[in-house]
Chains A and B, each alone.
Chain A
Amino acid sequence: MDLTHPPEVEAFRAEARDWLARNVPAALLPSLETAEGFAAHREWEARLYAGRWSAVSWPREYGGRGADLERWLVFEEEYWAAGAPARVSQNGIGLLAPTLFDHGTPEQRERLLPPMARGEQVWAQAWSEPEAGSDLASLRARAERTADGWLLYGQKTWSSRAAFADRAFGLFRTGAAASGPHQGLTYLVFDLRAPGVEVRPIGRLDGKPAFAELFLDGVFVPDRDVIGEPGQGWRIAMSATGSERGLALRSPGRFLAAADRLYALWRTAADPADTALRDRVADALVGARAYELFTWAAAARIAEGGQAGAESSLNKVFWSQYDLALHETALDLLGGAEAELIDGEWAQGWLFSLAGPIYAGTNEIQRDIIAERLLGLPKGRR
């Protein structure tokens, strides 16, 4: 058992740290959930790409560095510690790309990955529907066969950043669900500016305008944009949900950096006699460390051929609860009147952390998965 990196990994860290120190914008970018922020973040993604840091774990031929999991986690640590901007490309890089590596054709990888790495094509996830949230397999948006492709009809919703994104990936019904709701679904990608697509922004709790619902009326998708076999969409999509819940969405670097900021805030702003707050700060430090260490153990198992699997549901519940508690502690440290001011960084973070237990599969659903797959409890009624 060991917690030290070999010199080559430390050299990689030093290279990343050095580049980030020279390139991270000095001023905070506007939120990527706004039009202005989206544009600024695209520029940042292009700059990252120019340094070949935008998709470090991809093979070099697609714009990556071929970094293994250990290096990727180290890069993430440095990225967030440097105060670098949140990634507007995260849906594409974290969710679609792993699916393309597992199920895409070489042609699809060559066509879709490089513009994703450059920030030229930003992707939205189009899974949820008004009637299909937790019960995603009950989705009704459909793809109908046409001469050399498919026509999409129906409605998708809660699509993060779809108001400004370029393309989307989603699941559509292409066959009868005769043998079960998970059958007859197809995974495909489409253009958000194609004829027949209407994107309607939905105001989020934090007032940012990037969230959207999508109305699809005869949107053409060529055959080459179907990922994997038609009808196999569920299996293909599920192979990526582990990334969504687990590491790819929330690497520990982010929380380590946040816990450090909280610690600094406590040291400068808190009344040392307030041991109740001190205890919560201590819990935040321990939580960030626990998440980091849990991840290193998972990384070691994966490096030895293990699978992320249902364990990523443990990650999901942990980080979403952790994120909320951390931000609540920061607001309490700042004091009521300060915390009320919504433009503060911690207040913004708190507002977003409220969504954590809901997106990427609600925590209720994740607890079901943990109980059934990791503890062997019987399936109940969903």
Chain B
Amino acid sequence: MRFLPTEEQTDFARAVRALLAAADVPAAVRAWSAGDFAPGRTVWRRLAAAGLFAPAAPEAYGGAGPLPVELAAAMVEVGRAGMPGPVVETASAAVLLSRLEGGPGGEAAARFVPRLVAGGEAASLLLPGGGPYALDADAAEHCFAVDAAGRLHAYGGPHPAGVAAVLRSADPARRPARLAPGGGEVLAAGPGVLAAARAAGDWARLLTAAQCLGVGEALLERTARYARQRTQFGMPIGAFQAVKHRLADTLLALEFARPLVWAAALSLDAAEVAAAKLAAGGAAYGAALTALQVHGAIGYTEELDLSLWLRKARPLRDAWGTPRECRAVVAGSWPHARRGTPAT
């Protein structure tokens, strides 16, 4: 038992972190919110070239996977940097399509997965039981949607014909789109598609949990720094216990969510993934509320880059599994109620 990331896993995350730190992600986020995807897509292509999506797909399609732990570790960095775009959706679409290999959608896998994994093309994704909106469908080259009957539709993009409306999100850098019913090209159909969609949904939930962790860490780090510098009443506000204790609780929530994300990546068990999403989503949203409070009024402005993470936390908490949905999964199929029936 060695429940710590290996050196390779840490190195991969570190490389992604360095790449993102070298790019001006906040400027890309602001542009993305205004409908200018070019700066964000430049960072995106670099990330894809550096292998960000490789853990999502097998080698046959240009990937290196499936390696959920590696991808989750990298996704923490995506969250920490506040990277815009359908990163989770693209990775999960690669998972979905790869699973169709040898089955009804084998050709689709060969056609699309290499472009998603290494080609720098982005995909939005709609799955049965997932949210009703296709994230950033107006920015992505592809949009894949599985309907309840198990048909896999592909819409070409960007601005796919199927996009009926782009809505406004609490996080302006997330662009939820409603798709027009029907339409698109049917790539495959059948129970195999539904099974692949379930697996892709678990990946999407896991990767969103990891992204939440990164968002929470970024918020806490900025807030602790601010609390060390901002003085009131003649001392740094971080010397006041009301401030200290709130930050301590934020760290606590993040530190206990992190191992849940790792364990979920190791097992990809639906209940473990739900537990990870519940904890990481809650910790990130808690970090956002703390960050806002500790920054005072400056925290409530768009001027400060802090807002880029602040506004992401709650939509991410609910994306690919609200707390309520996650709790229902945990209570319904908890795999760890296995320790016999101890004497009461």
Q: How far is B335's CA from A289's CA once the two chains are assembled, in angstroms?
A: 11
Q: How far is B267's CA from A293's CA once the two chains are assembled, in angstroms?
A: 13
Q: Given A1-B262, A314-B255, A371-B245, are A378 and B342 also a contact pair (CB < 8 Å)?
A: no
Q: Given A28-B343, A375-B248, are A263 and B266 also a contact pair (CB < 8 Å)?
A: no
Residues of A within 8 A of B272 (CB): 289
A282 touches B4 (CB 8 A): no
Residues of A within 8 A of B343 (CB): 24, 26, 28, 82-83
A371 touches B247 (CB 8 A): yes
A285 touches B244 (CB 8 A): no
A286 touches B4 (CB 8 A): no
Residue A50 CB within 8 A of the other chain: no
Q: Chain B's nearest CB lies how many Å from the CB of A10?
A: 11
Q: Which segment, of A156-164, A166-174, A254-262, faces chain B?
A: A254-262
Q: Which segment, of A96-104, A122-130, A295-303, faces chain B?
A: A295-303
A260 touches B342 (CB 8 A): yes
Residue A283 CB within 8 A of the other chain: yes
Q: How far is B239's CA from A371's CA once the two chains are assembled, in angstroms?
A: 9
Residues of B within 8 A of A4 (CB): 1
Residue of A nearest to B341 (CB): A264
For chain B residues 247-265, which have a beta carbon within 8 Å of chain A?
247-249, 251-252, 255-260, 262-263
CB < 8 Å neighbour of A377 from B9, B224, B260, B331? B224
B251 touches A374 (CB 8 A): yes
Residues of A within 8 A of B327 (CB): 278-279, 282-283
B2 touches A2 (CB 8 A): yes
Residues of B within 8 A of A294 (CB): 255-256, 258-259
Q: How far is B327's CA from A15's CA once the two chains are assembled, in angstroms?
A: 36
Residue A136 CB within 8 A of the other chain: no
Residue of A nearest to B276 (CB): A286
Interface of B is mostly: helix
Q: Chain B's nearest CB lies how many Å from the CB of A374?
A: 6
Residues of A within 8 A of B183 (CB): none
CB < 8 Å neighbour of A297 from B4, B248, B328? B4
Q: Chain B's nearest CB lies how many Å from the CB of A80?
A: 7
0 or 1 for each of A359-382: is its CB under 8 Å from B? (1 = yes): 000001011101110111111110
Residue A338 CB within 8 A of the other chain: no
Residue A318 CB within 8 A of the other chain: yes
Number of A interface residues, CB 8 Å?
64
Residue A60 CB within 8 A of the other chain: no
Residues of A within 8 A of B255 (CB): 294, 314
B336 touches A9 (CB 8 A): no
Q: Given A81-B340, A285-B334, A300-B4, are A1 and B224 also a contact pair (CB < 8 Å)?
A: no
Residues of A within 8 A of B241 (CB): 364, 367-368, 380
Q: Chain B's nearest CB lies how many Å from the CB of A148?
A: 46
Residue A5 CB within 8 A of the other chain: yes
Residue A120 CB within 8 A of the other chain: no
A83 touches B342 (CB 8 A): yes
Q: How far is B235's CA from A259's CA once the two chains are assembled, in angstroms?
A: 44
Which of A257, A288, A297, A299 is the most central at the interface, judged by chain B CB atoms within 10 Å of its CB?
A: A297
Residues of B within 8 A of A378 (CB): 228, 235-236, 238-239
Residue A77 CB within 8 A of the other chain: yes
Q: Given A257-B339, A290-B260, A291-B256, are A372 and B1 also a contact pair (CB < 8 Å)?
A: no
B248 touches A290 (CB 8 A): no
Residues of B within 8 A of A304 (CB): 4
Q: How far is B256's CA from A174's CA once the two chains are assembled, in angstroms?
A: 41
Q: How far is B77's CA from A282's CA once the two chains are assembled, in angstroms?
A: 28
A376 touches B342 (CB 8 A): no
Residues of B within 8 A of A301 (CB): 4
Q: Given A3-B1, A24-B343, A28-B343, are A317 and B252 also a contact pair (CB < 8 Å)?
A: yes
Residues of B within 8 A of A300 (CB): 1-4
Q: How far is B326's CA from A154's CA once the two chains are assembled, in angstroms?
A: 55
Q: How far is B1's CA from A3's CA once the two chains are assembled, in angstroms?
A: 5
A256 touches B248 (CB 8 A): no
A1 touches B342 (CB 8 A): no
Residues of A within 8 A of B238 (CB): 371, 377-378
Q: How far is B6's CA from A139's CA once the two chains are assembled, in angstroms?
A: 46
Residue A144 CB within 8 A of the other chain: no
CB < 8 Å neighbour of B245 from A260, A287, A299, A367? A367
17 A–B contact pairs at CB < 8 A?
A1-B2, A1-B69, A3-B263, A9-B1, A26-B343, A77-B339, A83-B343, A260-B342, A275-B328, A304-B4, A318-B252, A364-B245, A368-B241, A370-B248, A371-B247, A376-B224, A380-B240
Please give the residue numbers on chain A whose beta carbons come within 8 Å of chain B beta carbons, in ascending order: 1-6, 9, 24, 26, 28, 70, 77, 80-83, 256-257, 260-261, 263-264, 266, 275, 278-279, 281-283, 285-291, 293-294, 296-297, 299-301, 303-304, 314, 317-318, 345, 364, 366-368, 370-372, 374-381
Please give the residue numbers on chain B whose beta carbons come within 8 Å of chain A beta carbons, in ascending order: 1-6, 9, 69, 220, 224, 227-228, 235-236, 238-241, 243-245, 247-249, 251-252, 255-260, 262-263, 266-267, 272, 275, 278-279, 324, 326-328, 330-331, 334, 336-337, 339-344
Given contacts A6-B1, A314-B255, A378-B238, 4 further A-B contacts (CB under 8 A): A260-B341, A317-B248, A370-B251, A376-B224
5 nearest CB pairs, A to B: A83-B343, A293-B259, A371-B244, A377-B238, A380-B239
